[in-house]
Chains A and B, each alone.
Chain A
Amino acid sequence: MEFVRIFEGEDSLLTVKYDGQDEDEFARILNKWTDIEYLDNFFATNESDLKRPHWEGITIEQAIIETRLEALKFRGHLKKMSSKTKKERISVFTRLFQPLSYYDPELSYLNKKKVYGLRKKTWLRLYAIKVSDDMFIITGGAIKLTDRMNERPHTLDELRKLDTCRQCLKDIGAIYDDGLLELLEL
């Protein structure tokens, strides 16, 4: 696994490239969210979750179109940020990311309000580790249609990736205590 800069020449906002993958995780996730074939397969596979009342009867076709638009909007927003200063970018990331709450039954994912995008509720999630006040590492992302991350294999995978990254930080001697890290979601 290696660390990859999200913005060229800046060490504060990082993502990871897992062994055996061609793309870094941040670019890979954004490409998946705009890949119609992938989205069609995903929503067809998870159609029962999509039919939950929370998602207000959205069809597979609408879900694909809205996911793509939301991902493009987010990427466009991020592109604009590339011309900002490091301080401004850190400030935006700090505001966008929230503590990961999968273990807290009082904090339902499905109640999460959108930060950007077209709908009042968004199912797009990026997961990150906050190493310090000015260093974030994005470990992955998912389309989250259920309340808990451990309810579905693809969100469970994201928990594993967070753990893999955390373990890697320990292995390289960057941290010795999990308590130093904050797990985040966007």
Chain B
Amino acid sequence: MTNNNITNKIKGLISENPSSWLKDAEYYETNKDWLDKSALIAVKILSALRSQSLSQKELADKISVSPQYISKVLKGGENLSLATICKIEKSLSISLIAVPVFQSSQVIAGSFEWYPQIISRSNSLLIGSEKKDYNPDSNYSNKEEYQAA
């Protein structure tokens, strides 16, 4: 039996629906930011349950939700509300998320970033170095295109 015969027999038995992995990958990429946090929270809750010898059902009872909901949370794919996070933190005596306290030094460092390589003298000259460039009727985009050409 040749390779072609083998593969042709299999090809005749392939399902019309492709694997669902690509949809899962696309969902993850779209929601990556909160899914990554949700997963880390799940790891921390499971770790606390283990160290405190608590079952998922006991946690569910403590915060008055169903065991099914706790299972969803622990899979790491649940978009948790702050209220739920706080309830879990309180019932397990752990911290799951922290918000940085505002400090003046943090505000300055985080808010003002200077990129000298972008706002350089040569670049500013390209955008508007002549008096007519500052006329409200002048078209800067045309000027840039001209410079680029």
**Residues of chain A having any CB pair with chain B under 8 Å:** 2-9, 11, 14-15, 17, 23-24, 26-27, 30-31, 34-38, 40, 44, 60-61, 64-65, 68, 72, 75-76, 78-79, 82, 131-135, 137, 169, 172-176, 180
Contact = CB atoms under 8 A, between A and B. Distances in A.
A79 B43 contact: no
B46 A5 contact: no
Nearest to B74: A37
Contact of B14 (A5, A38, A60): A5
B107 interface: no
B47 interface: yes
A36 B76 contact: yes
Contacts of B21: 6, 24, 26-27, 30, 75, 78
Nearest to B71: A37
Given A4-B15, A36-B46, A79 B22 contact: yes
A79 B25 contact: yes
Given A31-B24, A36-B75, A72-B28, A65 B3 contact: no
Interface in B1-59: 1, 3, 6-7, 9-11, 13-15, 17-22, 24-26, 28-29, 39-40, 42-44, 46-47, 50
B50 A65 contact: no
Contacts of B40: 65
Interface residues of B, number: 34
A26 B17 CA distance: 13
A38 B20 CA distance: 19
Looking at chain A's contact residues, is the secondary structure mostly helix, strand, loop, or mixed? mixed
B9 A135 contact: no
B7 A34 contact: no
Contacts of A176: 1
Contact of A4 (B19, B24, B47, B75): B19
17 contacts: A3-B15, A5-B15, A5-B18, A7-B18, A11-B7, A11-B10, A11-B14, A27-B19, A30-B21, A34-B39, A37-B42, A38-B75, A65-B40, A75-B24, A131-B10, A132-B3, A173-B9
Contacts, number: 123
Given A34-B76, A37-B46, A72-B28, A174 B6 contact: yes
Interface of B: 1, 3, 6-7, 9-11, 13-15, 17-22, 24-26, 28-29, 39-40, 42-44, 46-47, 50, 71, 74-77
A40 B46 contact: yes
Contacts of A44: 50
B24 A40 contact: no
Nearest to B76: A36
Contacts of B44: 61
A180 B3 CA distance: 9
Contacts of B3: 131-133
Contacts of A174: 6, 9-10
